Amino acid sequence: MDNESPKHGKLWLWLDERVGLSDFAKLAKKKEVPLHRHTFWYYFGGMTLFLFGIQVGTGILLLLYYRPSAGEAFESIQFIMTEVQFGWLVRSIHSWSANLMILAMFIHLFSALLHHAYRRPREMTWLSGGGLLGLSLGFGFTGYLLPWNELAFFATRVGTEIPGVLPVIGPFMRRLLRGGNDVTGATLTRFYGIHVAILPAIVTIVLGLHLFLVQKHGMSRPPSVEGGAEGKRSMPFFPNFFLRDLVGWLCALGVLAALAAYFPAELGKKADLFQPAPIGIKPEWYFMAMFQTLKILPSHILGIEGELLGVLGFGLLGAILIAMPFLDRGRALGKTSSRFATGFGLLLIVYAITLTYLGYTMSPTK
Amino acid sequence: MANEETSFAVDNGRRKFLNWFLGTSAGAFLISVTYPLSRYLIPPEIEESTAGTVTLSIKPNDVKANSGQIFRFGSQPAILIKDTNGELKAFSAVCTHLACIVQYRSDINQIWCACHNGHFDLNGRNVEGPPPKPLEQYVVNVRADQIVVNKRG
């Protein structure tokens, strides 16, 4: 500690004695980021974290005016959008940042998948990441209902009906999610509680674990660059990589501000529990592939109801994705890349893009 | 050590008892916390209106031919349709696919769900798209100047 004293002021020394700042400094000094042709993809984890921070900040601000009841929710958001100074900005950033966060998370997920970052000893990092993806989709789904508009109402009716098609546990799951047999004000209150308290509490724990494991194991070097000339090069995390991270975050903030200013979040029409679903109804883009699949599936396939088969199919794909560290035996066999994991990842990307494209381009009335 | 060896059997019995005691206490504590918690999370049953009949506020002559509208049947949405022949029909408006609320499309004379493009004919049969079952049909009676809708059976 003494050798550092010329560099630091009195405040640092005072704090160091009490909090142990030099331990953090040592930790930061030790952290290295592998440098190779795929280093670019490392930025998306930090980007997701940054956008999550934006969500927490803007979410807290929205809480100050939002009222979670069927009679007041829509009106309170109308109030935020029209009366509260910069209310439109805060809500629009919250809405856009949510979308960008999911996008960054998907990029992070697929880059980790295609670079086989889940392999030993990072299985738990992968699993906790999978958990965070599920939690984020939960955030997206519950947050979507909170404006209590037409789209939100039907999206929630459909979304909570999906686990309802499962045999035996389905009806119970649906009731538990909806807080009753139908989507009503009780569902809104329940989703609010899940969105602002239950999910944040769980995310804090899982995110803590995920970040701890990233620190513990360091960033994964893809097998394809492990052996070659690039295999050893690295860059200090602090300040070199961190400053690059910051540049990325600053760009993201600029994009967010522009999106929020030019395309402010819409509110639509207030939910009416006795009106037909509006023509051209769509979910958020990240549920579009699933939505379109359910639209295309016929009523019965080999005697089984189409939607049940669809829901089971999504479950199976999710399970394979999460279980990838244990299914991918390529490394155990001494191969640098696993055809199974790569094939599965690419297939999933192609499938999601195709179905999402169809979802946005197919005529809503045919 | 020798002492302990001789009293091993007694100690073991005492330890076993303590472990069992602590284990069951911990278990009982866990149950006494999780049981009320899980019961709390399950929403209470609220009595739903099981009324088998509803009288609509709209008059039969005010309903245009080749049109449909949603009405409340208890706590559920239902749809009243007057077909091109002027006959009144009523169905549950909850799509049998994923529970969206259906609408009448006068351009194709069918009941249609905007969510996943499900089609039903004017007997409620699922004729196109993903819905796996027909819509529940209700009985429509016109009494004097009133439309009365009944559940079947």
For residue B38, what are the CA distances in angstroms to B32, B34, B42?
11, 6, 7
Calculate the average pLDDT of chain A: 92
Smallest CA–CA distance, residue B16 to chain A, in Å, is: 35
For residue A40, what are the CA distances in angstroms to A15, A19, A122, A277, B2?
36, 34, 20, 43, 66
Who among A276, A294, A366 is closest to B130 (CB)?
Answer: A294
- E-strand stretches of A237-351: 300-301, 304-305
- Whether A198 is in a domain gets the answer yes
Percent of chain B exceeding pLDDT 90 equals 75
User: Residues A224, A229, A232, CA angle at the centre, nearest 5°?
Assistant: 85
Contact A300 B132 (CB under 8 A): yes
> Rounded to an integer, what is the distance from CA B35 to the centroid of its chain?
25
Q: Could you give the CA distance from residue A306 to residue A314 in angstroms, rounded to a whole number?
A: 12
Q: Could you give the CA distance from residue B98 to residue A161 in angstroms, rounded to a whole number?
A: 6
Residue A1 predicted with pLDDT over 50: no
**Which residue shows structure tokens 């509110």?**
A267
Higher pLDDT, B6 or A297: A297
- Chain A hits for B116, Cβ within 8 Å: 158, 291, 294-295
Nearest CA in chain B to A291: B116
- Whether A229 is in a domain gets the answer yes
Give the mean model confidence (pLDDT) for residues B65-77: 93
Nearest CA in chain A to B79: A276
- Whether A230 is in a domain gets the answer yes
Smallest CA–CA distance, residue B25 to chain A, in Å, is: 27
The number of domains in chain A is 1
Contact A295 B42 (CB under 8 A): no
The predicted-structure confidence for A95-131, as pLDDT tens digits, reads as follows 999 999 999 999 999 999 999 999 989 999 999 999 9
CATH, range B53-150: 2.102.10.10
- Whether A16 is in a domain gets the answer no
Q: What is the CATH number of the domain that holds A98?
A: 1.20.810.10
Nearest CA in chain A to B77: A274
- Whether A258 is in a domain gets the answer yes
Who among B43, B103, B115 is closest to A175 (CB)?
Answer: B43
- Can you give the pTM of this predicted structure? 0.90
Smallest CA–CA distance, residue B104 to chain A, in Å, is: 9
- Whether A186 is in a domain gets the answer yes
Residue B117 predicted with pLDDT over 90: yes
Q: A213 lies in which domain range? A: 33-276
For residue B28, what are the CA distances in angstroms to A235, B20, B21, B35, B41?
53, 12, 10, 10, 20
Residue A336 predicted with pLDDT over 70: no
- Are A279 and A365 within 8 A, CB to CB? yes
pLDDT band at A48 (very low <50, low <70, confident <90, very high): very high
- List, as one string, the DSSP characters of B7-18: THHHHHHHHHHH
ipTM metric: 0.84
Domain boundaries, chain B: 2-41, 53-150
- Whether A90 is in a domain gets the answer yes
